Amino acid sequence: MRKALTVLFAVIFAATLCGCANDVSSSVQQAESSSRSSTKWTVTEVADDDISCEGLVLTALNAGSFPEMVKATDSTLLDTIMDFSKYGITDYCVYQQAISVELSEVIAVRAVDTDGVYDALQSRKESLIKQFGTYPEQAKNAEQTVVFKKGDLCFLIASEEPDKAEKAISDKIKANSDVLSIS
């Protein structure tokens, strides 16, 4: 009888632990889901005439649907994007998603050799497609990544809605075309 009671208590204890584990797991998943969806890019004020690379990237971020983003400044990380010591680069800015499982990235580069920069950004796009290809939601963002040039500027926009961000950049450049020699 004592052995039977010990086994019964062991089974009840084990069942209780299993039930708690499932509840903890689902609450952690819910917390992760809600935190992911609630961390959106906070609109940042940018002067209308700010046509620096950072000003243009912030304009793009403000126009699109982006998660929380951070400015990439670590040289090791930047080297994985492209070689910023080439192409006669005079200005650049890179913002990436704060959570590495979400693909969102905006890059602006001002350079003498825009063809070289454009090719490097196209290579970056291909790298993103390979890197995020196994994640269905992120694979779509990688595939629709846009790379484009405007005068001495080149851009890469990887996001859910890259067209909105591209239009915002183009509109800002056009509005400031008297300051720039860009068509």
Mean pLDDT of 90-101: 90
Report whether pLDDT(181) > 80.
no
127 against 36, higher pLDDT: 127
Of 36-40, 110-114, 146-150, minimum mean pLDDT range: 36-40
Contact present, 59 and 94 (Cβ < 8 Å)? no
Task: Please report, in angstroms and rounded to a whole number, the separation of the first and last CA atoms in the chain.
Answer: 90
Phi/psi of residue 152, nearest 5 degrees: -95, 15
User: pLDDT tens digit string along 146-161?
Assistant: 999 999 999 999 998 8
Mean pLDDT of 85-96: 93
